[in-house]
Structure 1
Amino acid sequence: MRALLMALMAVLTFVAPAAVARQTSSLNAGWVFKREDVAAAARPDFDDKTWLKVTLPHTFNAGDGADGGTYYRGAGWYRKALDLKALAARDRLYLQFDGAALVTEVFVNGARIGRHDGGYSTFRFDITSAVKAGQNLIAVRVDNAAWPHIAPLGGDFTIFGGLYRGVSLIQTSDAGFDLLDHGSPGVAVTATLNARREAQLNIVTSLRNSRKGTANLIVRTRVFSEGREVLALSKGARLRAGQTLQLTQAGIIVRPRLWNGRIDPHLYNIVTEVSEDRGLLDRVVIPFGVRTVEFDANRGLLLNGQPYAVHGVNLHASRSGVGAAMTNTDISEDFDMLDELGVTGVRLVHYPHAQRAYEEADRRGILILTEVPVNSVVADTQSFRTNAAQQVRELIRQNINHPSVIAWGLGNEVYATEPHVANILMELNNVAIEEDDTRPTIYAHCCQADNDPKAMQSQLIGFNRYFGWYADEFAKMGTWADGFHKVFPEKPFAVTEYGAGGSAGHQQEPAGRTDPPSGWHP
């Protein structure tokens, strides 16, 4: 008995650390900042005592970018001291940036770690080889200048520069989830309903082995509904040194409770653990929902097979006084106001938003359109096409688990009509379908013929049509919509923008039709 007790104690002592296989720490506090390009700012011994002390999220355009006019577009530097304990032999350390615009270069202890091109998605860097026990120095150069290969190249919104979303430090094992997979959470769940109305789950886990030798991993997946386990799966994977792998599992939930919009936004939790013989390596918990969404050219949008009325607003991610540096509390307050409006759908414009926005939509049952910032202008270059495709992949891999997301947006109001525009949108459409064939694509079109080639590349069309504002009368919108449906009876479409400008500071009696270019919008 004593021998058995000692053996059990040994097992418990060994397994206990597995419960904290991943440690995530916020790095939002304790930064200093300078809004200019400082040549030596990456050096650990650089004197930054006169720099501005800031807490993230932070943008260097909170003031000059608020009115839509001219604002600073260029480089800014952030620096932060970080005290670290010595890493265990099999630990890896990652920096996660939830959003920084537009080009971000990261240095640790003077060593250049990497660069990310794009302003609105999560990205990570492995900094393991650059850190040491004791004091470390993180330096980040962020540049929101116009870059010819990075969308957006145009648009009527401010490109808020800086570390305008949070930064965190992730410590985990050297084998487990692939934290360098386009900022994804490491697990992607898609659900469909079969003929028996069972939920068929396809679960893809992204794995990475950063070791110098082979890793024999076990991926255990469990699905919970309100604390009750409804599915359990397990599968092994053997990864060579330095290998990445996407491991697929499939399972069925009998009699699933559907995510049903505002009526019942039920969420499941999927718990995925990566382990080996010696114990747990990493663990993630991700909410997801089971639902079907169909876009029928005759019946409209069908949620779980039933017509579902969609009405709502377009939402930018910025606020007076802070610009794009919104906290999670700010975002939740925005969704409280959307609740008061009674929306059933929201279009997140014109770029990927912070994860809190999608999480709020999931739990409140609000349908979401979300899009990449291919806006107004595109460049007919390979570098632009490559970066736009990267931004599509980031959008989808980071948000595929959100049941609120009903379509992937490829862009908004590209004005040029040359053939390369339609070709670029076609390429992005193909990337989106390759990433996720369970949701359609949509492009928000304006300013040319309804059937312009660029409008026909996505699976759905979103029309930005301001009847009664720029031209025509509002009452003609229905006639126009009926006319398009008659000519293209199989093409689903939506009105993604409409309405008129208005200012609480402009008053006029009696009211009359507004002239948009006048700047007087009562």
Structure 2
Amino acid sequence: GIISYNITTATSQMGPKKKKQSDSVGCSIKLLNNDGDHVTSAMGCQGSIMVVNASFWWPYLMSDNPGYLYTLEVAVSDDAGNIDQYPQKIGIRTVSWNSTSLMINNEPVYLRGCGKHEDSDIRGKGLDYPLIVKDFSLLKWLGANSFRTSHYPYAEEIMDMADQEGIMIVDECPAVGLSGFDEPLMNKHISVMQELVRRDKNRPSVIMWSVGNEPQSNQEAAKDYFSKVVSATKAEDSSRPVTCALNRPKDKEHAVCVLNVCLWWFDLHVVTASCMPCQHFPPL
């Protein structure tokens, strides 16, 4: 397995005494396995680590040990000797796709799950750890292996649990029922997607980005609009496919041809469409 890293540092106000920092910053990297044992180390704020005989992150029901996580410990120091440390949970896995399949670690995967919501009848939108555990237990009881974060980024505690439990996530931005597709809306949409990708790009559970839910993509302006939003998203992260939950009539759909994976929500059917002309659709 290969772990590539690029650490951005802030060179001011670090350390308990908050001394002025120099521009010379160094990074030391330590990789720990799921039991907390040392695996390997590296120096430098940018580079790659080769993990021999790596334990891969697998989704629930695809392995006897799903959700395997390493910890990447980063220590930052400067000439003044100040040090900051940050642990990052990571998983080693690949996501790939072609005209017929979505694959994890080169194995085809079928998504079974739901469009979830981040609320409950007794807590509303309030964060509740026991309810998070209960929700994931219910997902497993259903035989589910995934959910879509309909229709907004979820709390990091929920994302942490997905990483640990091997539950795959279609990570969606807060863009519901969009229409008009003018430039100010597009610029805001791109900014939101960039923030979402930068927050969640290191999570192995996130296997796909969703740029919205049920837009009025039967409008002709939707094609150019979503082409630019998807391009900006893939500029941030090209390792995952980009999708959108669609519900417009297929013979009037304009966003589909710029997506990697097309989800017609009410058909409950996912097809890859990276090379599919707008006017042609595979049978359900």
* TM-score greater than 0.5 by the shorter chain: yes
Given the two structures, how large is their TM-score scaled by the length of structure 1? 0.48
Work out whether residues 332 and 356 of structure 1, in 8 Å CA contact, stay in contact via their aligned partners in 2. Answer: no
2:17 matched residue in structure 1: none
| Alignment equivalent of 1:220, drawn from 25, 28, 40 | 28
Matched, 1:261 2:55: no
Q: Paired residue for 1:252? A: 50
Q: CA deviation at 1:466?
A: 4.6
* Whole-angstrom distance in 2 between the partners of 1:312 and 1:274: 40
* Residue in 1 that maps onto 2:3: 201
Distance 1:383 1:332 in 2: 39
| Structure 1 residue 451, shift from structure 2 partner | 7.1
Report SS of the residue matched to 1:391: helix
Contact 2:22 2:80 in 1 (8 A): no
Once the two structures are TM-superposed, the CA of residue 213 in structure 1 deviates from its matched residue by 6.6
Instruction: Please give the residue correspondences for 1:178-327 in structure 2 after superposition, counting only pairs within 5 Å.
Output: 199-210=1-12, 214-225=22-33, 226-235=35-44, 247-262=45-60, 263=63, 264=65, 265-298=67-100, 300-327=101-128
| Conserved 8 A contact 2:21-2:78 | no
Partners of 1:220 and 1:451 lie apart in 2 by: 54
- Paired residue type of 2:32: F
Unaligned 5+ residue runs, structure 2? 14-19
Q: Could you tell me the TM-score, scaled by structure 2's length?
A: 0.84
Query: How far apart in 2 are the matches of 1:402 and 1:213?
Result: 31
Query: Structure 2 CA distance, aligned partners of 1:462 and 1:346?
Result: 13
Q: CA deviation at 1:455?
A: 1.5
1:343 to 144, 147, 154: 144
Higher strand share: 1
The offset of 1:378, in angstroms, is 3.5
Point out the structure with max Rg over C-alpha: 1
Secondary structure in 2 matching 1:206: coil
Alignment match, 2:260: 459
Q: 1:249 to 1:379 in 2, by over 3 A?
A: farther
> Would you say the 8 A contact 1:273–1:280 is kept in 2?
no
CA distance in 1, matches of 2:281, 2:209: 15
| Pair 1:370-2:171 in alignment | yes
- Residues 153-190 of structure 1 show CA distances to partners (whole Å, capped at 9, x for unaligned) of xxxxxxxxxxxxxxxxxxxxxxxxxxxxxxxxxxxxxx
Query: Corresponding residue for 1:393?
Result: 194
Which one-letter code corresponds to 1:234 in the other structure? M
Contact 1:460–1:492 (8 Å) recurs in 2: no
Unaligned runs of 5+ in 1: 1-198, 236-246, 468-476, 496-522
1:426, 1:394 → 2: CA distance? 18
Q: d(CA) in 2 for partners of 1:341 and 1:492? A: 31
CA deviation vs aligned residue, 1:444-503 (integer Å, no higher than 9, x gap): 111221672211212111111258xxxxxxxxx8xxx89x99x959x999x9xxxxxxxx
1:283 CA displacement: 1.1
Kindly tell me the number of residue pairs found equivalent between the two proteins: 269
Question: Once the two structures are superposed, what CA deviation does each residue of 1:204-242 show, in whole Å capped at 9, x if it has no partner?
Answer: 21222347774311111111112232231212xxxxxxx
1:422 paired with 2:223, answer yes
Q: Distance in 2 between matches of 1:340 and 1:450?
A: 38
